[in-house]
Chain A
């Protein structure tokens, strides 16, 4: 999918017009986040130390993207994500959300995804990793899904088939294992012949 292509050093991004909301209860981690986005050329940012202050900032309006710590005392970044997707004003409900978290067990990554976060990335924050996500977000073409069970960007990124070792749940899913060949390999000449369509008389 084009939106997930790896960014190149020569690709350009113009972030100075984007208003970032940075959320982290740890002041040093918040400073790290701010330094990184400043380095990217960001000029508009609101830094807050928790989910409650983040909600106020969102209600004031004008936020284009949220970068939030996952684990915070009291209301955490996952709950903030859920609030944004389900209860924030319409104008803010579809804002991209990136959860940045120190301890990232798979269960938390899945939780973030299922609550509607666009991406989860692990601390310590690495500029290139964050910028790659911003690059993907700027090329995002996923639809938004609204349902009782889920509100957020379509979780299906790519159609790669079922996980290895499983049979898949869709009728068209093929097994991951190819198995033993049932016929002899094609010779190189036969392969070449497949690449060179011959003129045939029909």
Chain B
């Protein structure tokens, strides 16, 4: 193929979605949120399972943690993000996202900062226990503190 071609593709979605009938956006969102309620207990169970596994495998209590692949930690944190809707407003998914960032950085620099990992695991546990009872400002402070620690450690590295 040489050069650039612009084509106007018929928008099949527009043809199918914009006819008569259908449901109002507000109602669709309400129904989807109600449908998600059915999965809430399962989401919370998954979050708790992953938190327990993260602590068991990567917490300071495991003397063999240095031999583990951090990709496992990344995968566990990703599962918390996936299920994060189960505990809305806890800040858990933001913290889990910070864990993924940390693993990505470790991957890029071929390093492993166990102090930073310990701080992240401790924060995950705090947010699971108290995240939903904190005010938005308090949650922001906790997450900002985490981010500051990580940035500082990265700067030192």
Q: Which A residues fall within an 8 A CB radius of B?
A: 7-18, 26, 28-29, 31-32, 35-41, 64-65, 71, 94, 96, 102-105, 123-128, 131, 134-135, 137-141, 143-148, 154
Contacts and interface: CB of A to CB of B under 8 A. Distances in A.
Given A35-B39, A102-B81, 18 more contacts: A7-B25, A10-B24, A12-B22, A12-B24, A13-B17, A28-B42, A28-B46, A39-B32, A40-B23, A65-B13, A94-B9, A105-B101, A123-B81, A127-B33, A131-B25, A138-B17, A140-B13, A147-B4
B29 interface: yes
Contacts of B104: 103, 105
A103 B100 contact: yes
A141 B11 CA distance: 8
Contacts of B21: 12, 14
B101 A14 contact: no
A105 to B, nearest CB: 7
Nearest to B1: A148
A28 B50 CA distance: 13
Interface string B3-18: 1111111011110111
A35 B25 CA distance: 16
Secondary structure of the B contact surface, majority rule:
helix
Contacts of B33: 39, 127
B13 A138 contact: yes
Nearest to B86: A124
B101 A13 contact: no
Given A32-B85, A123-B84, A11 B25 contact: yes
B79 A10 contact: no
A3 to B, nearest CB: 10
A8 B28 CA distance: 12
A135 B33 CA distance: 17
Contact of A40 (B13, B32, B85, B101): B32
B52 interface: no
A15 B13 CA distance: 9
A16 B22 CA distance: 8
Given A28-B39, A146-B5, A13 B93 contact: no
A10 B6 CA distance: 34
B97 interface: yes
B137 interface: no
A94 B8 CA distance: 10
Contact of A13 (B6, B28, B31): B28
B4 A145 contact: yes
Given A41-B23, A135-B25, A144-B8, A28 B82 contact: yes
